[in-house]
Amino acid sequence: MTNQIRTRPDKVKARQLEQNRNLFGRLSAAALASRVQAQRMLKSAGELSITEWRVLWDLAEAGPLTVTEMAAIQHTDHALISRAIPMMVRKGYATTSVSQTDRRQSLIELTDQGRDVFNQTSVVMSARRAALSRTFSEDDVDTFIKLIDRFEAFVEAPLPENPTAEAAP
Amino acid sequence: MTNQIRTRPDKVKARQLEQNRNLFGRLSAAALASRVQAQRMLKSAGELSITEWRVLWDLAEAGPLTVTEMAAIQHTDHALISRAIPMMVRKGYATTSVSQTDRRQSLIELTDQGRDVFNQTSVVMSARRAALSRTFSEDDVDTFIKLIDRFEAFVEAPLPENPTAEAAP
DNA sequence: AAAAATTATGTGACTTGTCACGTAAATATT
DNA sequence: AATATTTACGTGACAAGTCACATAATTTTT
């Protein structure tokens, strides 16, 4: 009895230690924590959602863009962007217009007010990136990005490549 | 006019390239892709949600656990686990009992059926981890984990450490 | 011992993200 | 030219995750 009471917390700690080297879990936790940090910073700087910030940033840097283009830039689903646009238009941050060359596309463009909000929010968000690059040297980033490249290739492969071991007789 | 038509796609590509070195975005995309892969594998192996799988795994490895303990192991919110339990009990994978030593806690325990499902699902999921460790050497994992450690520390800090530059007169 | 602070759990409300489907427009095939 | 495919976008439905709050039980202060 006493034995069980004393060993259970140890089991928890052991399990935690074990999971500390689980890349899937660690990467997920880190990304989620990063998202929370971004959400908090955006909240403190104004009233932008994460998607709204990403859209503003893309539009500010790369002129008028379509929904699909932004989805491609952000490696995300077009639904996310599609749903963010109406509110941004209502807030007066962006305008939409049907593309002349392809009437399926809608071109999203920053308004002056949208640019103001971007500039303002950018203070906080680029400070964040600056702080990160004080923590990670160019070489660190390089190493990190390469590892992420490989990890991404792995998780985007249809199925983990099977070892031929089991196929062998 | 023709000019604009020709340069816009370049701008998109340029923006994509630029964002390729944005750790926040890259890490998030990698983690999300990993989640999708896990979801697909779980779907192909049975009918477990991601949270259900994590709970099964923790319970199988570290005996009966409380909600808070599993949340700590998984670096996640207790709400996620709290909500998953009733369905797992209904499916017959786990049982809950009020802890004798602390009547606020509920001890979650695997049933025999739960262990069967774990063993079955484990085939696919540990194959995934095995495939990953074929892609990443121990040293790679080591480097990766250390970078994630630093990144996590950064995003969990209350605010990005300010450079003293601005504070200096 | 009584009061105050902390902790474990459950739950509502919300954000982020994915998938699948329908519609309309553009492109490719015949 | 007519038909078939593909593509862009919007939208419903759902999964995953976070936060804030309520309640009950435990621990700490007084």
Residue A20 lies in a domain: no
Residue A143 lies in a domain: no
| Region class of A64: left (phi > 0), else alpha (psi between -120 and 50), else beta | beta
Total count of domains within chain A: 1
Q: What residues have CB less than 8 Å from B135, skipping those under 6 apart? A: A150, A154
Chain B residues closer than 8 Å to A148 by CB: 26-27, 30
Average pLDDT, chain A: 90
Inform me whether the pLDDT recorded for A166 exceeds 50: no
Q: Where are the alpha helices (DSSP H) in A63-111?
A: 67-74, 78-91
Chain B residues closer than 8 Å to A20 by CB: 145
Dihedral of CA A126/A89/B15/B32: which sign? positive
- Give the pairing type, strands A106-110 and B65-66: unpaired
Average pLDDT, chain B: 90
Instruction: Give the model's pLDDT for residue A169.
Output: 41
Inform me whether the pLDDT recorded for B81 exceeds 90: yes
Question: CA angle, B161 as apex, B156 and A130 as ends, to 5°?
Answer: 100
Inform me whether the pLDDT recorded for B110 exceeds 90: yes
Q: State the ipTM, two decimals.
A: 0.90
Instruction: Give the model's pLDDT for residue A7.
Output: 65
Residue A87 lies in a domain: yes
CB of residue B68 closer than 7 A to nucleic acid strand C? yes
Instruction: Give the model's pLDDT for residue B135.
Output: 93
Interatomic separation, CA of residue B104 and C1' of nucleotide D25, rounded (Å): 5
Residue A149 lies in a domain: no
**Which nucleotides along chain D are within 7 A of a protein C-beta?**
7-13, 15-20, 24-27
Confidence band, pLDDT 50/70/90 cuts, at residue B15? very high
**Which nucleotides along chain C are within 7 A of a protein C-beta?**
7-13, 15-20, 24-27
Q: Which of A17, A24, A66, A109 to mutate to test the interface with B (most CBs of B within 10 A)?
A: A24
Question: What CATH number corresponds to the domain at position A98?
Answer: 1.10.10.10
Residue A97 lies in a domain: yes
Instruction: Give the model's pLDDT for residue B2.
Output: 43
Confidence band, pLDDT 50/70/90 cuts, at residue B63? confident
Inform me whether the pLDDT recorded for B162 exceeds 70: no
Residues A116-130: pLDDT tens digits? 999 999 999 999 999
The least confident of A4-8, A26-30, B5-9, B69-73 is: A4-8
Residue A2 lies in a domain: no
Residue A33 lies in a domain: no
Inform me whether the pLDDT recorded for A27 exceeds 50: yes
Instruction: Give the model's pLDDT for residue B161.
Output: 55
Q: Which helix (H) or strand (E) holds A94?
A: strand A94-98
Residues A137-153: pLDDT tens digits? 999 999 999 999 999 99
Q: Which residue has the higher pLDDT, A3 or A118?
A: A118
Could you give the CA distance from residue B86 to residue B79 in angstroms, rounded to a whole number?
A: 12
CB of residue A102 closer than 7 A to nucleic acid strand C? yes
Nucleotide nearest to B65 (CA to C1'): C8
B34–chain A nearest CA distance, Å: 5
State whether A20 and B136 contact (CB < 8 Å): no
Could you give the CA distance from residue A17 to residue B73 in angstroms, rounded to a whole number?
A: 9
Sheet-wide strand order for A94-98: A65-66, A106-110, A94-98
Inform me whether the pLDDT recorded for B1 exceeds 50: no
CB of residue B104 closer than 7 A to nucleic acid strand D? yes
Instruction: Give the model's pLDDT for residue A145.
Output: 97
What is the extent of the structural domain holding A107?
A: 49-125
Question: With an 8 Å Cβ cutoff, is B146 touching chain A?
Answer: no
Q: Environment class of residue A68 by beta-carbon count within 10 Å: exposed (0-12), middle (13-18) or buried (19+)?
A: middle
Residue A114 lies in a domain: yes
Inform me whether the pLDDT recorded for A161 exceeds 60: no
SS (H, E, C) chain B: CHHHHHHHHHHHHHHHHHHCCCHHHHHHHHHHHHHHHHHHHHHHHCCCCHHHHHHHHHHHHHCCEEHHHHHHHHCCCHHHHHHHHHHHHHHCCEEEEECCCCCCCEEEEECHHHHHHHHHHHHHHHHHHHHHHHHCCHHHHHHHHHHHHHHHHHHHCCCCCCCCCCCCC
Instruction: Give the model's pLDDT for residue B165.
Output: 45
